[in-house]
Chains A and B, each alone.
Chain A
Amino acid sequence: MSQWIVEAQMDMRALLRSPSFYLPAFAFPVVFYFFFGIMLDFSNGHSDYLLISYACFGIMGPPFFHLAVSLASERTQGWLTLKLLSPMQFNSFIAAKLFNSALFSVVILLLLYIEAAWLADVRLWFWQWGLLTLIFTLGTLPFAALGMLIGALAPDRAAAGVVNLIYLPMALLSGLWFPLFLMPDWVQWVAYGLPSYHLVQLGYGVIGQGDEVSWYWHITYLCLFSVGMMLILRGLSGRFSGSNP
């Protein structure tokens, strides 16, 4: 069996034995959407708009937390050093983690879709559900890259805290919880620099509620952000094996 598949299987088993990882990852977006998108419905019937917001918020969690926390643990506790001293292919190791993060994100999307269709009567065309799933699944990559960067730099016990310090403000400043037009101008400028803003705009675009910027620019930004993170990570590659000069 291919190395990355075994790696992904074992990584998934370890994740499924860690309810502290998957319970909040599944529960937060579903519960937030229930309260703010369905129960309170501040947006006056715009449950489809908030579905996109909370879908974006939900899919950011697994790549952030999984890559950051598991890499930080594997790095600082010496698990990764042992693996890197074996003939393990580092690319397979990372591919397995990316795959599992994306898989968790797809499950979160499905839970939100069911919730939205069942409880909020959100009706979209089949192609819209499909395109949203594609965008948000591929959209895990920039957050996974940022998660890896945190995993390369943060000590294992601090990694989850660091992720929260970035994840929650990023969601807020990208307009995932409150529409950006309700916030000060400077917040809107900050939002343009955040990958979550560009990803959610692609999602809004699918339901015809995106901003006036072309989808092409949002995708370009997300790709550049991911490549930039990867280049920084490449410079830090020695940190993964616990190597020092």
Chain B
Amino acid sequence: MTILSITNLSKSYANTAVFNDFSLHVKAGEVVAVLGENGVGKTTLMRCILGLTAADGGAIKLFGEQQTNRYRSAALKERWGVVMQVGAVNGQLTVHEQIQLHQSYYTHPVSVDALTQQVPIEPLLHKRFAVLSGGEQQRVLFALALIGQPQLLFLDEPSVGMDLNTRQHMWQCIESLKTQGVAIILTTHYIEEAYQLADSVVLLRKQAPAEQLPIKTMSLEQLMSTLTGAHVS
């Protein structure tokens, strides 16, 4: 089942094209990593799909529904989870309170127990978000994205600031979500993260068409040389 379908999407800022005729199809249980230099349009692509930024042209279908403008229905939002690149929540509330608040938004939210089994946030539950480290905050934001049991997950540089153990735990969680049929769009600067998790990589480049690489048939070295050759940081 195709969860996300993007056809000939284009977006430009001040007459400079961010991407042109960009197409992408993501099926249930598929992980697609979007890679590219800073400012190449990874976050803009996510924002176009999420309806935060209007695309100039092309078509976006989510769960088979054509999205004709920036409006995204509540029913659609029930089915996705999002970790934004610069995400934050009210620092005065504890993690447990944040979870309670986000649970109230969904028709079928996961319980706190189920969530803490998925993401190791139990020691953080009674701490205020503001006092957590960057990596801990990122972990909490990842957990919040899972509250609605999403079928499509957007992860915009989710492991920034995480230590190695936490990052590996998040990778395991993503693998587990994948086996449950969750489609995942992941932007990252860590090539090994993309290699570990993704079924394919979309390479965004300035002044050049985007390229989709089926990385499961490539070695990490091949992937790195392809990316390095394309001037990816």
Same complex origin of A and B:
yes
Q: Which residues of A contact B (CB under 8 A)?
A: 1, 3, 6-7, 10, 13-14, 17-18, 74, 77-79, 81-83, 85-89, 238, 241-245
With A82-B87, A86-B148 in contact, is A242–B52 under 8 Å at CB?
yes
> Is the beta-carbon distance between B52 and A74 smaller than 8 angstroms?
no
Measured between C-beta atoms, what is the minimum distance from B78 to chain A in Å? 5
With A3-B105, A79-B88, A89-B74 in contact, is A10–B97 under 8 Å at CB?
yes
Q: Which 4 A-B residue pairings sit nearest by Cβ, starting from the closest?
A: A6-B104, A14-B92, A87-B74, A87-B77
Residue from B51, B75, B77, B104 in contact with A7 in the complex, judged by beta carbons closer than 8 Å: B104
A79, A87, A89: most-surrounded residue (chain B CB, <10 A): A87
Beta-carbon nearest neighbor of B102 in chain A: A86
Q: Find chain B residues with CB under 8 A from A85 CB.
A: 50, 52, 77, 80, 82, 84
> Is the beta-carbon distance between B101 and A82 smaller than 8 angstroms?
no
Residue from A1, A3, A87 in contact with B78 in the complex, judged by beta carbons closer than 8 Å: A87
> Is the beta-carbon distance between A78 and B148 smaller than 8 angstroms?
no
> Is the beta-carbon distance between A86 and B92 smaller than 8 angstroms?
no
Q: Which residues of B contact A (CB under 8 A)?
A: 50-54, 70, 74-75, 77-78, 80, 82, 84, 86-90, 92-93, 97, 100-102, 104-107, 128, 141, 144, 148
Q: Find chain B residues with CB under 8 A from A17 CB.
A: 92, 128
Known: A1-B104, A85-B50, A242-B52. 7 other contacts (CB 8 A): A10-B93, A10-B100, A78-B87, A79-B88, A83-B105, A89-B74, A241-B52
Q: Helix, strand, loop or mixed for chain B's interface?
A: loop
> Is the beta-carbon distance between A6 and B86 smaller than 8 angstroms?
no
Beta-carbon nearest neighbor of B89 in chain A: A79
Tell me the bound Cα distance from A86 to B73 in angstroms: 10
Tell me the bound Cα distance from A17 to B131 in angstroms: 14
Beta-carbon nearest neighbor of B106 in chain A: A87
Tell me the bound Cα distance from A18 to B128 in angstroms: 13
Q: Find chain B residues with CB under 8 A from A13 CB.
A: 92-93, 97
Beta-carbon nearest neighbor of B107 in chain A: A87
Q: Find chain A residues with CB under 8 A from B77 CB.
A: 85-87
Q: Find chain A residues with CB under 8 A from B93 CB.
A: 10, 13-14
Residue from B70, B84, B88, B101 in contact with A6 in the complex, judged by beta carbons closer than 8 Å: B101
> Is the beta-carbon distance between A82 and B100 smaller than 8 angstroms?
no
Q: Find chain B residues with CB under 8 A from A243 CB.
A: 51-53, 70
> Is the beta-carbon distance between B100 and A87 smaller than 8 angstroms?
no
Beta-carbon nearest neighbor of B141 in chain A: A82
Measured between C-beta atoms, what is the minimum distance from B195 to chain A in Å? 28
22 example contacts (A-B, Cβ-Cβ < 8 A) are as follows A1-B104, A3-B104, A6-B100, A6-B101, A10-B90, A10-B97, A10-B101, A13-B93, A13-B97, A14-B92, A14-B93, A81-B84, A85-B50, A86-B105, A86-B106, A87-B78, A87-B105, A88-B105, A242-B52, A243-B51, A243-B52, A244-B53
Q: Find chain A residues with CB under 8 A from B100 CB.
A: 6, 10
Measured between C-beta atoms, what is the minimum distance from A92 to chain B in Å? 9
